[in-house]
Amino acid sequence: MSLRLKFNLVMLITLAIGIGLAYITSKRILEDNAKQEVLLNADIMMEMAKGIRGYTVDEVKPIIQAGGHEEFIKQTVPAYAATRNFERLRKRFPEFTYQEATLNPTNPAHRATDWEKGIVDYFTSNPSATEYSGIKETATGKLLYTSHPLRITNPKCLDCHSTPEAAPAAMLELYGRENGFGWELNSVVGAQIVYVPMSIPLERAGIALKIFIISLTAIFVFIWLLLNILLHFVVIRPVTRMAEQANLISKGQIDVPEFEVKGSDEIASMASSFNRMHRSLASAVKLIKKQRTTTVRSK
């Protein structure tokens, strides 16, 4: 096995191990980063929904009431305003889904599923918790979700959700008297949840990982080519020439030119030693020939 083959074999094994370790490590890091990026975007959208809810309660509803409107206007309901605005936002970001999961909603469309009730129960059991995230298994695949508690902190919300008697008559006609009442101040009545398919962060991480691995491989191949060129000119070619000269000398061609010494590295040092050995051998051969000539003449 030649020196070049041994060197390239070691480089190939190193490449395989290095790329493998880089793939395993980077895959996990990039996937985590992609998840965090998606969750951050989801949090921003969640805060936007909260802002819309607060704006509806504090700004829109008082203006409608001050105008003397007796009828119930669903656009003044915080949950309706937040949900409708998010539906508009989904035209630009269709991968995000917003849900206001409520245990006892006025609108049945906002009633929490059994799984969503678990999130609401978590916030109820952990009053200091402000966020809960995780991964949900569904029939269509995994969903990455983040959620915030829906806590009644504004007394104005109880205008429609304390008792049926206090609620607007138009609201009772639309939704009835059975649902959406009995809410209490500072209680958790539901959760705001934003869903994103896991395929979104995984796809982003996959693209970034592919670019990283290709770039890393390209850099390694460039270094490998550079080292091969360096190995050829610094080691293999000088050693090959010395081997060829040594072969000629071993066949009796003592008068071959000395090896040209360049630099002061180990190869140059070996070349100098080779030249000294060559000169010593040439001197010894000449001395032997001279002694033979003298012996022949004396006879």
pLDDT tens, residue by residue, 51-86: 898 888 888 877 777 766 666 777 888 888 888 898
pLDDT value, residue 243: 76
> What span, in angstroms and rounded, lies between the C-alpha atoms of 141 and 255?
81
My answer on whether 82 and 168 are in the same domain is yes
Mark which of 187, 208, 229 sits at the end of a domain. Answer: 208
pLDDT value, residue 26: 92
Confidence of residue 106 (pLDDT cuts 50, 70, 90): confident
My answer on whether 204 and 225 are in the same domain is no
Mark which of 160, 188, 208 sits at the end of a domain. Answer: 208
More confident residue, 180 or 293: 180
pLDDT value, residue 296: 60
Confidence of residue 222 (pLDDT cuts 50, 70, 90): very high
Distance of CA 257 to the CA centre of its chain: 61
Residue-range definition of the domain harbouring residue 43: 3-208
My answer on whether 147 and 240 are in the same domain is no
Confidence of residue 21 (pLDDT cuts 50, 70, 90): very high
My answer on whether 185 and 289 are in the same domain is no
Q: Are 143 and 135 in contact (CB under 8 A)?
A: yes
Phi-psi region of 85 (alpha: psi -120 to 50; beta: other; left: phi over 0): alpha
My answer on whether 188 and 80 are in the same domain is yes
* Alpha-carbon distances of 32 from 140, 144, 204, 206, 209, rounded to whole Å: 22, 12, 11, 12, 12
My answer on whether 220 and 155 are in the same domain is no
Confidence of residue 295 (pLDDT cuts 50, 70, 90): low
Res 123 pLDDT > 90: yes
Confidence of residue 17 (pLDDT cuts 50, 70, 90): very high
My answer on whether 128 and 221 are in the same domain is no
More confident residue, 41 or 65: 41
My answer on whether 31 and 121 are in the same domain is yes
Q: What's the chain's average pLDDT?
A: 84
pLDDT value, residue 219: 93
pLDDT value, residue 298: 62
Res 23 pLDDT > 80: yes
> What span, in angstroms and rounded, lies between the C-alpha atoms of 154 and 127?
17
Tokens of 287: 């001395």
pLDDT value, residue 299: 57
My answer on whether 123 and 179 are in the same domain is yes
Global pTM reads 0.64
My answer on whether 36 and 183 are in the same domain is yes
Confidence of residue 267 (pLDDT cuts 50, 70, 90): confident
My answer on whether 173 and 34 are in the same domain is yes
More confident residue, 261 or 80: 80
pLDDT value, residue 124: 92
The alpha helices in 257-298, defined as continuous H runs, are: 266-298
Mark which of 163, 178, 208 sits at the end of a domain. Answer: 208
Domain count, the chain: 2
Taking only the tens place, the pLDDT of each residue in 173-199 is: 888 888 888 888 889 999 999 988 888
Residues in the chain: 299
pLDDT value, residue 297: 61
> What span, in angstroms and rounded, lies between the C-alpha atoms of 40 and 18?
32
pLDDT value, residue 217: 92
Q: Which of 126-130, 238-242, 245-249, 254-258 has the highest mean pLDDT?
A: 126-130
pLDDT value, residue 24: 92
